[in-house]
Amino acid sequence: KKMDLGKFEEDNSQSCRLSSAVPEVCKTEDCCLGIDEAGRGPVLGPMVYGICYCPISKKTDLQDLKVADSKTLSEVERENLFGQLEEANSYVGWALHILSPNTISTGMLQRAKYNLNALSHDTAIGLVQYALDCGVQVKELFVDTVGPAEKYQEKLSQRFPGIVVTVRPKADSLFPIVSAASICAKVSRDRVVKSWKFVEDLGEVDTDYGSGYPNDPKTKAWLAKYLDPVFGYPQFVRFSWSTAQTIMESKAVPVHWDDDEQDGEKAAAKQNCASMLSYFSRKKPESAGREPHRYFAERRLETVENL
């Protein structure tokens, strides 16, 4: 089946998985599987993880398609190569996991931090498991590294015993099956970014946001233009990225949270009111000297600190 992004476009605040049909030959023959991502660095749009797999006996056929690292190809070349991978669906399969900007940022900023490396590892592992659950006979796994290659290789080998795992930097330029995964991931990210539906009421949105990378002047200008001083950024933006945070700190309305664990008591004292934390402290509040309510006095009830 073709790459149908409708499921993600229905709600682009959530992440979603897409996949091709599994070729029958991949359920009976030993297969190799490659993993790569697109959009790890940009401050705009999703990050997409892709896997591509085919029988080990068909590796040369895949090479003949002349797949290459997606970053070295133009958009037209990537689209053409993805079309060729689709035409080779009798022996090539793929699956994608689109991680929305909202998923990435909320994970990185939540109380128990979920950093990008951990998210990347879990997503990659989830896609390999998905292929295995679909019946793909994976025997070789090739991965572009995230973090130290040796540690990642050991982690994957322990997680998938019986599969020969190879983790290398620049794997997308070394192994055609990883190049194919790279193309699938990049094509889907490009399509998602191009057709992004803004749920926020922004009027006629200027879609000339450059590459989406933080150091791109066009991207920076777009971020400055579409910052709401109260509500921040639309969900197209990874608001956990330092570029977005810097602009928010300088141009948005400052917000002070009085129940912040670190400065809540000081903030409350400045405003001459009790901090929420004071109700859980051992010392008596300053207002403790007042007369108790008649209900307590008549029943001779007193406040105790120690039982």
CA 22 to chain CA centroid, nearest Å: 25
Q: Is 37 annotated as a binding residue?
A: yes
- Whether 234 and 223 have beta carbons less than 8 Å apart is answered as no
d(CA 48, CA 161) in angstroms, rounded, equals 26
Residue entry with tokens 């682009």: 12
CA 216 to chain CA centroid, nearest Å: 21
Q: Is 228 annotated as a binding residue?
A: no
Give the CA angle between residues 17, 19, 24 to the nearest 5°. 145
Q: What string of DSSP letters covers 222-275?
A: HHHHT-BTTTB--TTB-TTSHHHHHHHHHHSPP---TT-TTTHHHHHHHTTS--
d(CA 176, CA 59) in angstroms, rounded, equals 8
CA 157 to chain CA centroid, nearest Å: 23
Q: Is 61 annotated as a binding residue?
A: no
Give the CA angle between residues 120, 124, 130 to the nearest 5°. 145
Half-sphere exposure for 252 (CA within 13 Å, toward CB)? 21
d(CA 13, CA 100) in angstroms, rounded, equals 6
Give the residue ranges of the annotated binding site for a divalent metal cation. Answer: 36-37, 144
Task: Output the known binding site.
Answer: 36-37, 144
